[in-house]
Amino acid sequence: MSLMDWVGALWRGVPLAVGAITLFASAEAAAERVVFINLGSVALNSDNGQDPTLDSYSSNGFTPGTASGFALTDEEIALLEFYLKEASTPFDIQFVFERPAAGSYDMVVFGNETDADALFADSDCPPAIGLADCGDSSGQNISFVFQGCLPIAQQTDMRRIAYYSLTGLGFGWGLENEVSTGQIMGSYSVFGLQFGNECVGISGGTCPTHPGCPDGEQNATADLNVVVGARVDDGPPVVTITEPADGSTVTDTFTIAADVEDGFGGLTVTMSTEIAGMKVSQGSEEPPYTWELQGVPPGTWTLDVEAIDADGGAVTSSVTVTVDGKGGGETGSTGGDDTTGGVDPSDSDDSSDPSTSGDPTVDPTDASGSGTTDDAGESGSAPIDPTAPVDPATFGAGGTGCQCATSKRPGSDGWGALGCLGVLLLGLTARRPRGRTSTRPSRTSRFRARTSR
């Protein structure tokens, strides 16, 4: 049976299709898919067909050459991994950032505008290209993200980079361009970092059928369940509190930081503590998982960080610190221990849905993480003097609990809508992209674009 490879691509966030294809039968599905996110420079050849282990890629219009890579900070890498896992939580996909020593894997490589011109001369610099492989017939292959083809303001948006990475991979797993918005394989949306789970129309479709859908439509989740497989529980997450050290002495203002590891997305991460008889808790939507406490009264307090994974596995790590009320600084050198618990995930706060945050026209990655407030006191209440004695009978009067809000930033006066504890929990403010619009001129190519819906 003959094979003509073809390439699916995205241009400025709009899916494109290219070339002709001769269809072939589906291969046996893999039980687990390993994806190597290769941020380094890599010289690509076409000597061995589709074989990421040999850096080999072959398709119409491809010229062997070098993809120059993508320089990211540790924080950006953590966010990219987080978004990749969040978008693919239902499926058995493992993302790694070091080349596996053995076994097969898909690979995503990165490059600039010059790389796109050299590797795909007729591509007109799309941000993503992937081999269109109906039924995943050729197995593992290479996908391309040309972040240099994006406007500068988007090049460090890890949500968007994850979207393009998964779109390129999706082509290689047998998916096609969709006539949709708000999901991978369709038009990009800040709220659409997910694969669709219903039949939608295909733009310029070339594959004969898609599971459970009529001709001309696909259900991305149904396809991926066949060629990739559903998520398999890998055990509970691992939680390590990295700051402050267990047993340390701290000032009345300090930061809690934790590393949380799990094979898949869908994590709920919450910091909680009980100080002077008042319970405080706040979730963190994405890494780095950090919380800042201000105005903590003197005493010895226990801080808990709990993570619940997509399969309900719960782990809590704890540290105990002493606030001396005199600016004593931190001592000690060890973090908290990991302990497993049996917490029902339905009992935990889940603020991960971006559709619930603020103005829907604002990218939620540009906003501080938000907490919730129950039975809050009057706004503008003066902070409690952490060095003064606190009467537990009146401390936090006016409320039955304390879910501290994030309406104030470190160093500001007042406690927003809360006067209940004098503890302020602040979420992470994500990196704001730097902006200018790309003015790259268009040129004649063999790509067929469809209009964004």
State the SS3 of 116-127.
HHHHECCCCCCC
Provide mean pLDDT across the span 385-414. 29
| Residues sharing a CB contact under 8 Å with residue 232, sequence separation 6 or more, in sequence order | 32, 92
Tell which CATH architecture fits domain 235-442: Sandwich (2.60)
Work out the number of other CB atoms within 10 angstroms of the CB of residue 271.
22
* Signed CA dihedral, 71, 76, 82, 84: sign only: negative
Q: What does the DSSP 8-state code read for residue 97?
A: S
CA atoms of 30 and 32, how far apart (whole Å): 5
pLDDT digits (tens, 9 = 90+) for 307-325: 999 999 999 999 999 998 6
As a whole-number percent, the residues of the chain with pLDDT over 90 amount to 59
**Domain boundaries defined on the chain:** 7-232, 235-442
pLDDT given at position 167: 96
User: Can you state the percent helix, strand and coil of the chain, rounding each to 5?
Assistant: 15, 30, 60
How many angstroms separate the first and last alpha carbons of the chain?
A: 36
| pLDDT value for 431 | 30
Q: What is the pLDDT of residues 170-209, one digit of tens each?
A: 999 999 999 999 999 999 988 889 999 999 999 988 898 9
> What pLDDT, on the 0 to 100 scale, is given for residue 21?
29
373 pLDDT more than 80: no
> Residue 105 pLDDT more than 80?
yes
Q: What is the pLDDT of residues 19-64, one digit of tens each?
A: 322 223 333 334 489 999 999 999 999 999 999 999 999 998 999 9
In this model, does residue 296 exceed pLDDT 50?
yes
Amino acid symbol at 347: D
Reported as a single tens digit per residue, the pLDDT across 53-91 is: 999 999 989 999 999 999 999 999 999 999 999 999 999
Domain 7-232 belongs to what topology? Collagenase (Catalytic Domain) (3.40.390)
Rounded CA gap, 142 and 131, in Å? 7
Q: What is the C-alpha to C-alpha distance for residues 442 and 453, in angstroms, rounded to an integer?
A: 21
Label the pairing between strands 217-218 and 200-201.
antiparallel
